[in-house]
Structure 1
Amino acid sequence: DFASECLNPYVRQFLVGWITVLDSVPDIDMLGFLPDFLDGLFNMLSDSSHEIRQQADSALSEFLQEIKNSPSVDYGRMAEILVQRAASPDEFTRLTAITWINEFVKLGGDQLVPHYADILVAILPCISDKEEKIRVVARETNEELRGIQADPAEEFDVGAILSVARRHLSSEWEATRIEALNWISTLLSKRRAEVLSFLSDIFETLLKALSDPSDEVVLLVLEVHARIAKDDKHFHQLIVYLVQNFRVDNSLLEKRGALIIRRLCVLLDAERVYRKLSTILQGESDLEFACTMVQALNLILLTSSELANLRDLLKKSLFNDAGKNLFLSLYASWCHSPMAIISLCLLAQTYQHASSVIQSLVEEDINVKFLVQLDKLIHLLETPTFAYLRLQLLEPGRYIWLLKALYGLLMLLPQQCVAFKILRTRLKTVPSYSFSGEQFKQLSSGNAIPEVNNFVGSQVSEEAAATKEDQKNVHNGINFAQWQQQFEKVQEQHRAHSKSEALSRSNSTSSAKEMQRPEEPKRPLPAADMNRPPSRSSRRGPGQLQI
């Protein structure tokens, strides 16, 4: 210590020389005293004198070599010194310190267990160091440290390590944030129960990390969340917090919503995620947010490759109990958006109900937002997702309700928009089959059409049998009239909310104008007018005209 604090460079050089000489004496074990002067030697690595820096580096190299060959070394005391020196502003000092830590982790891993958190404090910032050599050694050390299988009986402080990782999730360096997340993930896989006991300390930070500018960080955060949410309790907590974050931070839903939902569907099962989201949104009090969220979820459902199995299940809603249950589970919250409901019905092939929903729309529903969503749907109808629907148009006699639903959408679109032209062009390609008067009569009455005409106007017995079987299961226990009532009820709530918001804005505007308008002073009546008796015209009775 005296050597490092001495101002005279010659004295410092002299002392380093003596340390080197004493270390060369076989009968003197300088390693036992190394923790006492190690900090001083590291301090000399940034000395202004080149000779002193060289001597200090040479002495440290000799000591490190001796440590490698020594069976008993006090790693703990020296580790504390190295951690401090790893944060030195001097580049060479940082490199030497992180190199020593690397060797310590390899040589005395078990002895360093109580110091894991401190060592991690040194390693994580160095992973993003501007000097490549330091980054390489820091990464290697980090991997070595994370790979050590600590005995559960040892003093392995999970809480301290999680605290370090949590702090570094706010680092300005992406690489450091990534490694901090890797540590949390590793601890979850090895010591899940202990990590969950500290969950309240890190959960909020993990949620905020979902807004990280780096996609790689966001994906890692989602993996950590998925590990946490293996059980129902934490899964529910995750989805609830996620919805709350989307509500508070609209930009998160807009920029990261699709990425987050899609990844969670891969990690935690798409059906489970969508059912839980639907349940939460069903009781959402913020109607505008509920509508926005449902529209986002609906778009992800229709476009994401990760949700292909979910779409396939929904297509069986009329013939399969699992598909029906999923359809009804989503329907409850999809009611917040007319276009989401129509999309869901088209996906589930409940075309008659889709047509009924379209017919139930009123003037207030068809606004700019609705038309934007409708435009998106029309474009989506031309994608591979709805290839089955376009192929069904080859059998217009069998899928008359599909035609009616599509023509209903066409009638809602302004004729000059691109979506109108796209849908009209598609409908023009539908083969023009002839229908009997009985078929049109049943169509107008709302009943399913029992007969199907093929291209030549005849029906083979196999097709007839299949059609009858389909029609027998057409509702699959779904009371569409009841569900439409729920849809209309929710939409009525949205209309009332919109009117209330519009009235509130109107009142605010009027109040602002009143405050800005200067008050006109009241002019007193002239004395002559005040004393003048009322005229005959002013004394006329009710119903009398003034002449």
Structure 2
Amino acid sequence: MSMESAIPAIIMRGLKDKTYSKRKAAAQDLERLVKGIRTEDAQVQSIIHHLERDLCLSVDPNARKGGLIALSAVAIGLSKGVKAYLNAIIAPIITCFSDKDAEVRYYACESLFNVSKIARKEVIDRWFSEIFDSLCKLSADSEQSVQNAAGMLNNLIKDLVASDPSGAPNFDMDKFFALLVERIRVVSPQLRIFIMDWIQLLHGIPSLDLLYYLPAFLPGLLSYIADTRVDVNMKARAILNSLLEGVVASQALPEVTPSGAGTPVAGASPGPAASASGGEGTAPESESEAAATAGDTPPVVGILAIAAASAASAASAASGSGSGSGTGSGETADTASPLAADVGVSVQRPFDVARIVPSLLWACCSQDPAMQANGLLWISGILSSGKFKRALVPLADRLVHGALLCVSHNLNNIKNAALDVDAALLALFLESTSGAGSAGRAAIAGGGGGGGAPSAAAFPLDRLIHELSQLLTHGAEATRLAALEWLLIMSQHEEGAFAAQLGRNSGLFSALLHCLLDPSPRATRTAIDVLATLGSHMGPKWFRRCCECFLQMLQGDKKMMQERCSLIVRQLAMTLTPESVFSTLADILTEASLPPGTGSASASGAGDATPAAGDDTAAAPVTESPAAVAATVAPAATAAGAASPKSGRAQPRHFALYGTCPPLDLAFVESLVQALHLILMTSSECARMRAVLRATDDRAPESAESASLFAQLFRCWSHNAAASIGLCLLAGRFLQAYELIKLCSCDMDVTVSFLVDIDQLIHLIESPVFTPMRLHLLDIANNQSLLLALNGLLMLLPQSSAYNILKNRLSSASAISASAAAKLPAPSAVPGAAPVVAFPLRDHLDHQHIEQFIACQQSHSAVRSLAMTMLNTHSRNRNLFAFVQSHPETEKVRRSTVATYLLSQKRSPIDISQVRDLL
């Protein structure tokens, strides 16, 4: 029978008729015809081809409708024999799903519904992806009738998938999930519900192994939580909770090495913290880059990439090799996919939790609170599982970054969830480091993930330190504090590895120093604890470098010096020892403030100027002259407090781990010495140090420790006359104090700042710190030097409250001493009597100290004199700093020192009259 005569003409006319009843009657006639020739393969193929060419592809809508009805009639007529012709029947129906006529689309749904009821499982196995794609479009059709028809067809297809007697559908899963990932980005609420219904259905089939494809569609599903429609939102939450339960329950599967843990999936676009854990030296994204990628576009994971990677992982686990061999670039999807099993065979693949981490971190960095909460909930649930928390060790740097960004959230539920994740990660770090042997610690130091089972994976210490150093400059206080807590614990448990990373990561060193000036006192204390812990491991040279950089920061910010200097020094003294802290600071101030020409300021740190091998950021030894270095100090210090436009916090200055301290300004040194002196005299942390300086426990001469400490401090204290006098009074060197007072009154300028410092000293004399000295006033035989010193101070003071305080003290002491002198026996006549004080045995002049004091004070006097001369000569010059730099009659270092001295009194633009008054 020819193609033209395969279908009778009367049936063809009926199928093309515009009335439904005639088309239906013609289809019934065709069904009876096909039943009679179902064994005639050629005739059946001819009929199907004729229907497709002349009816389904016709320009007449009625003909297309008739062709669709006829195709379903042919399927019914063929009954079980439809398998052989199924592709030819379904192909034109799928084409008509996109017809511009709504009635044609409706009839296409009806036709496929009838065909599916006949062919059942065969339709799913061969055409499931195409049918799903068509239903996805039709579920949001503009015509309600088409939506209803698509809904009925969708229910039938779902029933066929769920009721498969084999328990495992045999359609191409890779192709289907690639289509699902493409469609999951829709914004229509109807389509979102349609997609979630299918995910829920497939998740309910145990043998389907939906979790294997979870990394591909999880980002889209997480984005549904931000939908404003309540039904979409609630359904997404329910499905995510169910999937999380499945992930946690899947820990019973055989444990394999996560393929590519710590590396991004091929074809994946990095999320907010993705692709940060490549090889050593690969820097993760900065905070600003993470924020830029944490928008509305979720990370995309390729289906074929997942299949190839997991196939390589399974092969690696089966062969016992620790290093997975990836799929070659020329391998086809069929070869890479592990879905080549026969029908009915349940294929369970290990779940690689590392591949969902980018999606979870993307959710954590989202602007939607619900997405953030669910991302943290998933991470917390995975960490609570016994197997997967070990697999997450190589990804710890990304997870810590995401959690710490959320600890500063203004919503308590998100903040608490982030704190829970942070605590779990911290416990995982402690477990990993404590359980690792020497080989494990070496791997941790190198930051490598290592091979073998997840239990042997090492913490990526280098990448984690990089992430934490970036977070130290974050605008939120809670995030900075959490990052500092991490660094403190890491420095305490992995001192050697942490120190090695610090040598390679100069950004961390600068960030830690910047935290010393953090507005939060708690952050400052924690940063000091980290530096002190590292100092105990790295030695005194490293601690000296920290102090040098700390002084440079204080010089650039006078306000911070006033507000934070005491807190930092006291915390350092409490963490270390006050003697080591004050000695180090005194040495730096002494050497860095020497006048030009001595060479000590530039050569003092030469032993510390050797950069570490391979450290590109380490500073080379300073080769410029001290004058050239000093000329750049003031401009850099002025710009040091520039605020970040993003966070509103000061941008951290960069400090090389190996370098030298440039010359310090004399005005800054003078004010800092006074601040250190007040800390020494008043803080409880320095009580032992004050006792060492006094050394009043017996009448023996002062100990070598006391003499060395006093000499070290006095060299620095000489920059401030009042502080030098106070130090001598504390140490019982009253004759030397009297000599200093005479020098101040005769050979040096008595400035307003000096009188203010003397006023503070008088009030300190009335404090408990100077109780031994006040008692020494009663020792008539040995108090002459002390009386001279105190009376000299009295003569320096103008009539003020401090003058009256000291005058009353001296008057009462003189009266008591005079009345008691005649009544008390000599000390040697009282058996076993202890001496009152031990000061007299060391009350002598040290001429070297006096010369040091004179040299320092002359330097300060010269600076003040030069500044005053310039003010008087150029009182109209508003830009004084630029003028001083260009002055031809003074050396470069002196010009910079004078300019900085003036600018330290009042910021530019300078009011000349106020600066003159201050001087």
TM-score of the superposition, structure 2-length normalised? 0.51
Is 1:459 equivalent to 2:765 in the alignment? no
State the shift of 1:146 in Å. 1.1
Alignment correspondent of 1:212: 518
Q: Distance in 1 between matches of 2:234 and 2:763?
A: 71
1:8 to 188, 191, 206: 188
Q: Where do 1:91-490 residues align within 5 Å?
A: 91-107=369-385, 108-148=388-428, 149-150=431-432, 151=436, 152=440, 153=443, 154-199=457-502, 200-230=506-536, 231-285=539-593, 286-316=665-695, 318-362=701-745, 364-415=748-799, 417-432=800-815, 454-456=821-823, 458-462=825-829, 473-474=841-842, 480-490=846-856
Q: For residue 5 of structure 1, give the secondary structure of its aligned residue in structure 2.
A: coil
- Report the counterpart of residue 449 of structure 1 in structure 2: none
**Once the 2 structures are TM-superposed, how far is the Cα of residue 5 of structure 1 from its aligned partner?**
1.6
Q: What's the offset of the Cα at 1:511?
A: 6.6
The C-alpha deviation readout for 1:155-184, integer Å capped at 9, x for no partner, is 532222122112222222111110011111
Could you say what secondary structure the match of 2:592 adopts?
coil
Cα deviation digits, residues 387-417 of structure 1 (max 9, x gap): 22222222333312111111110011112x1
Larger radius of gyration: 2
Q: Secondary structure at the match of 2:516?
A: helix
* Conserved? CA contact 1:396–1:430, under 8 Å: no
Please tell me whether the aligned partners of residues 776 and 837 of structure 2 are also in contact (alpha carbons under 8 angstroms): no
Is this contact kept in 2: 1:3–1:40, CA < 8 A?
A: no
1:252 offset after TM fit, Å? Answer: 2.0
Report deviation, 1:290: 1.7
What residue is the counterpart of 2:210 in the other structure?
Answer: 30
Contact 1:211–1:218 at 8 Å: present in 2 too?
yes
CA RMSD of aligned residues (A): 2.5
Measured after TM superposition, the shift of residue 3 of structure 1 is 4.3
Q: After the TM superposition, which of the residue ranges 383-392 and 338-347 deviates more from structure 2? A: 383-392
Structure 1 pair 512–303 and aligned structure 2 pair: CA distance change class (3 A): closer
Shift of the 96–409 alpha-carbon distance from structure 1 to 2, 3 Å rule, reads same
Secondary structure at the aligned position of 2:826 is classed as coil
Correspondent of 1:89 among 349, 353, 367: 367
Normalising by structure 1, we get a TM-score of 0.85
Residues 211 and 512 of structure 1, relative CA distance in 2, 3 Å threshold: closer
Larger displacement relative to structure 2 (387-396 or 142-151): 387-396
- 1:456, 1:13 → 2: CA distance? 104
Q: For 1:84-140, what per-residue CA distance to the aligned partner results, in whole angstroms no more than 9, with x for missing partners?
A: 011122211111111001112222221111211111221012111111111111101
Where does the alignment leave 5 or more consecutive residues of structure 2 unmatched?
Answer: 1-180, 254-350, 444-456, 594-664, 880-919
Give yes or no for contact 2:736–2:845 (8 Å, CA) kept in 1. Answer: no
Deviations 1:234-289 (A, max 9, x none): 11111111122122222221110000111011112110111111111112332222
Tell me how far 1:340 sits from its aligned partner. Answer: 0.9
* Equivalent pair of 2:408/2:479 in contact (CA under 8 Å): yes
What percent of counterpart residues are identical? 30
For residue 367 of structure 1, report the CA deviation from its aligned partner: 1.4
CA contact (8 A) 2:745 2:796 kept: no
Q: Distance in 2 between matches of 1:121 and 1:462?
A: 75
Distance 1:512 1:322, change over 3 A: closer
Say whether the 8 Å CA contact 2:221–2:236 is kept in structure 1. Answer: yes
User: Letter of the aligned partner of 1:228 in structure 2?
Assistant: L
Instruction: Supply the distance in 2 between the matched residues of 1:56 and 1:86 (Cα, whole angstroms).
Output: 17
The alpha carbon displacement at 1:462 in A equals 4.9
- Give the Å deviation of 1:58: 1.0
Structure 1 residues 391 and 29: alpha-carbon distance in aligned structure 2, compared to 1, 3 A threshold: same
Q: Distance in 2 between matches of 1:487 and 1:494?
A: 11
**Number of corresponding residues:** 494
| One-letter code aligned to 1:122 | G
Q: Structure 2: how far apart are the matches of 1:511 and 1:7?
A: 66
d(CA) in 2 for partners of 1:118, 1:316: 55
The 2-side partners of 1:468 and 1:204 are apart by 51
Q: Which amino acid is the alignment partner of residue 564 of structure 2? A: R
Structure 1: runs of 5 or more not aligned = 436-452, 514-547
1:215 is matched by which residue type in structure 2? P
Which residue in 2 is equivalent to 1:442? none
Partner of 2:246: 66
The structure-2 alpha-carbon separation of the partners of 1:462 and 1:220, relative to structure 1 and needing over 3 Å to count, comes to: farther
- Equivalents in 2 of 1:20, 1:261: separation in Å? 61
Deviations 1:409-453 (A, max 9, x none): 0011112x1100111111121143789xxxxxxxxxxxxxxxxx8
For 1:528, the equivalent position in structure 2 comes to none
